[in-house]
Every structure is written in C-alpha cells, then in structure tokens.
Amino acid sequence: MNIGLTQRILHYNNVAYDCLEHGWYNLLSGHTLSFIPNNVDQDHEKLVRDLDMVIFTGGDASPHRLLVETRLLTQCYIQNKFVLGVCHGAFFINELEQGVNGTIENHQDTEHKVILEDQEYTVNSHHTNQIMEVGADLNAIAHADDGSIEAFKHKIRPVWGLVWHPERMEVSVLPSDLRSLMK
C-alpha cells in the first residue's frame, strides 16, 4: 500500500521544516511511504490519486498546515481514499465534519484505558484537546475510562480517527478493520 503522511512544521533557526515522528517507519514497515510536504501550491488532486491512504499525523496545527490538510482531505473524500487521523489529525477531521472539540485535563503525557470493540486496552495520551461530540457522519468507536471519545469511524467513507498515537506503541492498538487494511 502506498501511504501518504502529513507532517508537522518545526521551526529551527528561523527556517521551517516538515518533520515526521520515527515511530511511523516501524508501524508502516512493508508499505511504501510518501511524505507530504506542507506546500500549498502542490497538485493535491494528483498527489492523492497516487496514494492508497493518507494519514493525518499528530503535532501542532498551524494555519499553513491546516490549509494543506484541508485540501488533502477534500481530495481524499472526492477520490474515496482511505484516511486515518491521529491525534491532531482526528481533531482536524472531526472539526471539518462539524464535530465539537474542546479541552481536557489529565490526558497529556500519560496512559489510560480505552474500550474499543468491547475490549479494554491501555493507550498513550499526549493531548490537551478532546472530542466532545463527533460530527453527524461519524460514529464514536472508542471511549476512555473517563467517558471521553478516543476514536471514531465515518459512517460511509473509509475514514478513522484515533486520539492516541499507535506509532508510539510497542503493540499498536487499532480498530480491527483498520488493522486488517494496514497489514
């Protein structure tokens, strides 16, 4: 599978860099990885056409990154591509789907339990945001032990969102249909 990954923007010595967490290389070994630059002027239609899946990775949001990701997600929807949003990516997709995000305490740099597909898992947690309500076209598929929404799946499209970081886990926690797809 050819998987495109969005990247966070890191500023160092007054220069902007696109960067990606190393954990993605391990999680997606065996797949062809394409790193999507935060370039507003690229041909998003062609870029998405050449991919099987786009992962909207974690990291900070910036107006520039959000513009690129909005164009990418639009093309993913038009072309019916597989999409995974992780942390920032999940909040981003939920917001574009008219869901409600807010802030949460006790979820930054910790671990907690989630219920996914009637099983309890321990996942990492590196966020101060939360999904308070999923968009109308999304179903919540995982909740934390405090009741907060931790994952969703689109009702019609092949789109998932996870608030935890599977790329940072020794054994990644993924919904079974997504796990099968990414084998």
pLDDT in tens, 40-68: 999 999 999 999 999 999 999 999 999 99
Number of domains in the chain: 1
Average pLDDT rounded to a whole number, residues 101-117: 92
CB atoms near residue 32 (< 10 Å): 11
pLDDT at 128: 87
Q: Which domain holds residue 46?
A: 2-181
Q: Which residues contact 53 (CB under 8 A, 6 or more apart)?
A: 1, 2, 3, 4, 81, 82, 83, 84, 181, 182
Q: Per-residue pLDDT for 5 more than 90? A: yes
Q: Per-residue pLDDT for 106 more than 90? A: no
CA distances from 79 to 31, 41, 42, 89, 113 (A): 20, 19, 17, 19, 35
pLDDT in tens, 111-120: 999 999 999 9
CATH of the domain at 170: 3.40.50.880
| Tokens 């949001």 found at | 61
| Tokens 């072309």 found at | 79
